[in-house]
Structure formats: C-alpha cells, structure tokens
A and B are shown apart, each in its own frame.
Chain A
Amino acid sequence: QVTLRESDPALVKPTQTLTLTCTFSGFSLSTREMCVSWIRQPPGKALEWLALIDWDGDKYYSTSLRTRLTISKDTSKNQVVLTMTNMDPVDTATYYCARGSRDGYNFWFDPWGQGTRVTVSS
C-alpha cells in the first residue's frame, strides 16, 4: 500500500522560509519512472503545481515560483523535502505531496497525501 504524509501544519511569518517534508512508504524513489511532486491549493481555489523530483534526481519547478523553491530527496529515509523562501500571505494554502509516475515527459499523480495547512501571517 502506497502512502504519503506531509509534515505537520505550519504557521510562518512573512519573509520566512517554509520547509515541508513528505514521508512516504510502499514505493522507492530509486525505482525507475517514479517521482514525487508538491502541489498546493489556496482556500477555495484551484490546484497549483509547485515542484517535482524523479528517481534519478532530475528536478522540475513551477515557472512562476522557481526562484523560491528547492526540492530534494533522501532515498534512504523515503523523504522528499520542499523549501520555499520569502513566504507571503498569498502562499497560505494546503500543500500536498503526491507520488508521480511518468511515461517520457508525461506525468500523473497517484496517490496524494492528506495535505498540510500552511498559514502565512504576522
């Protein structure tokens, strides 16, 4: 059974750096064609893709957020970490991690974690 779990909810102040950890089980990120992605959803709004790291360490980032994001993996711990710098109240959202599968440059995500609420406020 594949499961993913995001780190606990966070309250961060504007300009601070957010660090989120995704801990997963039931698959290995060293397996070919596997990847893990981060996606967020502001309250009442649509899904927004953030970043992805795949089995051989390739990283992909949202065009609009790439200067603020860093994604990394610890295969031995089955964890993927996302950092986002210079947080702003508009970054308030539920942040999800999800397992990804790929076929060439096509990706799909299943399953997703339960999500973790991040609030940015002074």
Chain B
Amino acid sequence: SFELTQPPSVSVSPGQTASITCSGDKLGNTYASWYQQKPGQSPVLVIYRDSKRPSGIPERFSGSNSGNTATLTISGTQAMDEADYYCQAWDIIVVFGGGTKLTVL
C-alpha cells in the first residue's frame, strides 16, 4: 500500500529556513498537499497542488514535489510556525503522512 514517510521532528532557529520532507513511491506523479496543526486546533491547509498557497497563508510557506519527495519549506520561520505538519496525497485512496513536529528554538 502507498505510504508517505515524514521525519518525526525538525528543529529550526527563528528567522532561518525550515524544510520538511515527505517521501513516497513516485510521489512526484501526483499532487501533494500540506497541513499545519497547532495543539488543540484543527488542521489548516497551507499548500495544495504541490506549491499553491490558499488565501491567507503567508508567502514564507512554499512547496515542491519531484521524484519520490515532496518538500514544505518555511522561509524566515517564526515562533508562530511551531506546529505539527502533515503531508497528504492520493493513490487510489487519500493518504496522510505520519506528521512532523516543527520546533522553533
């Protein structure tokens, strides 16, 4: 079955660039989406169709997808970006990655 693999945790200093990866077999052949979830809150879509930002999502959030890896990049990371991030794609069914906890130190 299709699986999406994310690193359990990523740490970044404020103002630096954070990269969160999502790996899956031939993931680049489909679209990847990314969700941000803060403690006690519902997930929020931050990237869809690999690299598109929904209205209201800051420009510092960007995405790419090629080969077997999709990447969420947060430029100029802020303390408010500390959250869990999940990738999601489609392979005959919807699949979510296991999530990555982003810590802004």
Contact = CB atoms under 8 A, between A and B. Distances in A.
Given A46-B99, A48-B96, A49-B95, A103 B43 contact: no
B83 interface: no
A37 to B, nearest CB: 7
A106 B30 contact: yes
Contacts of A103: 31, 49
Contacts of B98: 46
Contacts of A55: none
A108 B43 contact: no
A60 B94 contact: yes
A98 B37 CA distance: 14
Nearest to B97: A46
Interface string B28-41: 00110101010000
A47 interface: yes
B93 A105 contact: no
Nearest to A4: B42
B99 A47 contact: yes
A112 B43 contact: yes
A107 interface: yes
Contacts of A110: 44-45, 48, 54
A78 to B, nearest CB: 19
3 smallest beta-carbon distances between A and B, as pairs: A110-B45, A108-B48, A106-B31
Interface of B: 1, 30-31, 33, 35, 37, 42-45, 48-49, 54, 86, 88-90, 93-99
16 contacts: A46-B86, A47-B88, A49-B96, A105-B90, A106-B31, A108-B45, A108-B48, A108-B49, A109-B35, A109-B43, A110-B45, A110-B48, A111-B42, A112-B43, A112-B44, A115-B42
